Protein backbone atom coordinates (compact mmCIF):
# COMPACT_ATOMS: atom_id res chain seq x y z
CA UNK A 1 0.00 0.00 0.00
CA UNK A 2 1.27 3.46 -0.88
CA UNK A 3 0.01 4.98 2.34
CA UNK A 4 -1.63 8.38 2.56
CA UNK A 5 -0.55 10.58 -0.33
CA UNK A 6 -0.41 14.36 -0.08
CA UNK A 7 0.41 16.97 -2.66
CA UNK A 8 2.16 19.24 -3.02
CA UNK A 9 4.92 18.48 -0.48
CA UNK A 10 5.96 22.11 -0.42
CA UNK A 11 4.06 25.26 -1.32
CA UNK A 12 5.28 28.83 -1.29
CA UNK A 13 2.74 31.51 -2.10
CA UNK A 14 2.06 35.15 -1.58
CA UNK A 15 -0.46 36.59 0.82
CA UNK A 16 -3.90 36.77 -0.71
CA UNK A 17 -3.45 33.85 -3.07
CA UNK A 18 -5.60 30.74 -3.00
CA UNK A 19 -3.93 27.55 -1.80
CA UNK A 20 -5.27 24.04 -2.40
CA UNK A 21 -3.85 21.04 -0.60
CA UNK A 22 -4.69 17.52 -1.76
CA UNK A 23 -4.95 14.17 -0.06
CA UNK A 24 -5.53 10.59 -1.14
CA UNK A 25 -6.34 8.37 1.84
CA UNK A 26 -5.49 4.70 2.20
CA UNK A 27 -7.95 2.58 0.25
CA UNK A 28 -10.67 1.14 2.48
CA UNK A 29 -10.30 3.73 5.21
CA UNK A 30 -13.56 5.48 6.04
CA UNK A 31 -12.20 8.35 8.14
CA UNK A 32 -10.10 11.24 6.83
CA UNK A 33 -8.52 13.94 8.97
CA UNK A 34 -6.84 17.27 8.25
CA UNK A 35 -4.32 18.59 10.81
CA UNK A 36 -2.14 21.65 11.05
CA UNK A 37 1.19 21.63 12.90
CA UNK A 38 3.15 24.65 14.08
CA UNK A 39 5.89 25.09 16.65
CA UNK A 40 3.67 27.27 18.80
CA UNK A 41 0.43 25.28 18.75
CA UNK A 42 1.60 21.75 18.02
CA UNK A 43 -0.70 19.36 16.15
CA UNK A 44 -4.22 20.74 15.70
CA UNK A 45 -7.18 18.91 14.19
CA UNK A 46 -8.91 21.11 11.63
CA UNK A 47 -11.68 18.88 10.29
CA UNK A 48 -12.49 15.25 9.74
CA UNK A 49 -14.78 13.20 7.53
CA UNK A 50 -16.50 9.85 7.89
CA UNK A 51 -17.66 8.18 4.68
CA UNK A 52 -17.00 11.46 2.83
CA UNK A 53 -19.26 13.46 5.18
CA UNK A 54 -17.76 16.19 7.39
CA UNK A 55 -18.25 15.20 11.03
CA UNK A 56 -16.47 17.92 12.98
CA UNK A 57 -15.12 21.16 11.52
CA UNK A 58 -14.81 23.03 14.82
CA UNK A 59 -11.05 23.20 14.40
CA UNK A 60 -11.21 25.15 11.15
CA UNK A 61 -9.75 28.51 12.13
CA UNK A 62 -12.00 30.75 10.04
CA UNK A 63 -14.08 31.03 6.92
CA UNK A 64 -10.99 31.33 4.78
CA UNK A 65 -10.51 27.59 5.28
CA UNK A 66 -12.70 25.02 3.55
CA UNK A 67 -12.42 21.28 3.00
CA UNK A 68 -14.18 18.87 0.70
CA UNK A 69 -14.25 15.15 0.16
CA UNK A 70 -16.04 14.49 -3.13
CA UNK A 71 -15.32 10.75 -3.02
CA UNK A 72 -13.68 8.10 -0.86
CA UNK A 73 -10.27 8.51 -2.48
CA UNK A 74 -9.78 12.26 -2.55
CA UNK A 75 -9.99 15.31 -0.30
CA UNK A 76 -8.92 18.94 -0.56
CA UNK A 77 -8.19 21.65 1.96
CA UNK A 78 -8.44 25.13 0.52
CA UNK A 79 -7.30 28.44 1.99
CA UNK A 80 -8.63 31.55 0.29
CA UNK A 81 -7.24 34.14 0.74
CA UNK A 82 -4.05 32.91 2.38
CA UNK A 83 -2.26 34.89 5.09
CA UNK A 84 1.28 34.65 6.51
CA UNK A 85 -0.08 33.19 9.77
CA UNK A 86 -1.33 30.19 7.79
CA UNK A 87 2.27 29.09 7.32
CA UNK A 88 2.50 25.61 8.82
CA UNK A 89 2.75 21.95 7.95
CA UNK A 90 -0.62 20.48 6.99
CA UNK A 91 -1.14 16.75 7.47
CA UNK A 92 -3.81 14.48 6.14
CA UNK A 93 -4.49 11.20 7.94
CA UNK A 94 -6.89 8.33 7.38
CA UNK A 95 -8.19 5.47 9.49
CA UNK A 96 -10.51 2.49 9.46
CA UNK A 97 -10.70 2.08 13.23
CA UNK A 98 -8.93 4.13 15.89
CA UNK A 99 -5.40 4.07 14.50
CA UNK A 100 -4.70 7.00 12.18
CA UNK A 101 -2.11 6.83 9.41
CA UNK A 102 -0.53 10.12 8.44
CA UNK A 103 0.67 11.41 5.12
CA UNK A 104 4.06 13.12 4.74
CA UNK A 105 2.51 16.58 5.02
CA UNK A 106 2.48 19.76 2.95
CA UNK A 107 4.82 22.46 4.14
CA UNK A 108 3.11 25.80 3.40
CA UNK A 109 4.85 29.14 3.46
CA UNK A 110 2.79 32.26 2.87
CA UNK A 111 4.90 35.34 2.22
Q: Is 14 in the site for another protein (CB under 8 A)?
A: no
The DSSP-derived string for 51-65 is: TTEEEE-TT--STTE
Among 91, 94, 108, 110, binds another protein (CB under 8 A): 91
Query: Residue 74 belongs to what H/E stretch?
Result: strand 74-79
Decide: 66 and 59 in contact? Cβ < 8 Å: no
User: Closer to another protein at the Cβ: 19 or 32?
Assistant: 32
User: Closer to another protein at the Cβ: 43 or 111?
Assistant: 43
Query: Which residues make Cβ contacts (< 8 Å) with residue 86, sequence separation at least 6?
Result: 19, 64, 79, 108, 110
Among 2, 28, 42, 62, binds another protein (CB under 8 A): 42
Residues lying near another protein in the complex (CB under 8 A) are found at 4, 31, 33, 42-43, 45, 48, 50, 55-56, 91, 93, 95, 98-105
Amino acid sequence: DAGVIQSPRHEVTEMGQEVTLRCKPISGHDYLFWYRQTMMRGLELLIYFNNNVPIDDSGMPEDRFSAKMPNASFSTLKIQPSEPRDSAVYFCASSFFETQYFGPGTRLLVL
